Amino acid sequence: MTGLLVGAVFGAVFVVVNAQSPLNAVSVNLLRLAACLAAASVVAMWFTTARKQRPAAGPRRNMFSRGYLIVVAAEAILLFGGLRVLAAWGRPEQANVAWVALVVGVHFIALAPIWKDRSIAVPGGVLTLLGTAGLVLASTAAVAWVPLVSGVLSGVVLLAGAVTFGWRAATARTA
């Protein structure tokens, strides 16, 4: 559930920061409200399951293993290094969110075998595709749509996954 909580928070940030023009003000506000409500629901499910969760017998799996730390270090280098490269190449500012979505997506794909959880590769693949699409759009006249494609849609993917799997976890514990 902690991973879902992190995904929900980042998903909400993706939506809140990137919901903007060319969308109209009503759409922007509705997207931001829905994102915040979805994240709040994951927080509520996190508290619900944490209260009911009993420690499992046997050794506990360490999410923050050496493999995880290597992936996160590579992610940080790629994120910040890539943003500098995009700026040096004179790419539009909108390309930054596309790069972030691409790197975050690849990070999920890389973590799937480390955590032995193939399900996180699915949102990783979708974010990678949305980031790639945004980088392509950034080179066209449709550059204004990059924050929606790579930012808002990536946030929606993260939030939908967090709400879905959080709901499954919360109802499985109470059933």
Per-residue model confidence (pLDDT) at position 61: 63
* CB neighbourhood size of 23 (10 A): 18
The tens digit of pLDDT for each residue in 92-107 reads: 999 999 999 999 999 9
Per-residue model confidence (pLDDT) at position 135: 97
pTM of the model: 0.89
Residue 1 half-sphere exposure toward CB, CA atoms < 13 A: 21
Tell me the two tokens of residue 121.
């590769």
By the 8 A CB rule, do 126 and 149 touch? no
Q: Where are the domains of the chain?
A: 2-55+63-174
Per-residue model confidence (pLDDT) at position 172: 79
By the 8 A CB rule, do 157 and 121 touch? no
User: For the chain, which ranges sit under pLDDT 50?
Assistant: none
Per-residue model confidence (pLDDT) at position 168: 87
Q: Tell me the residue length of the chain.
A: 175
Per-residue model confidence (pLDDT) at position 137: 97
DSSP state of 64: S
Per-residue model confidence (pLDDT) at position 122: 93
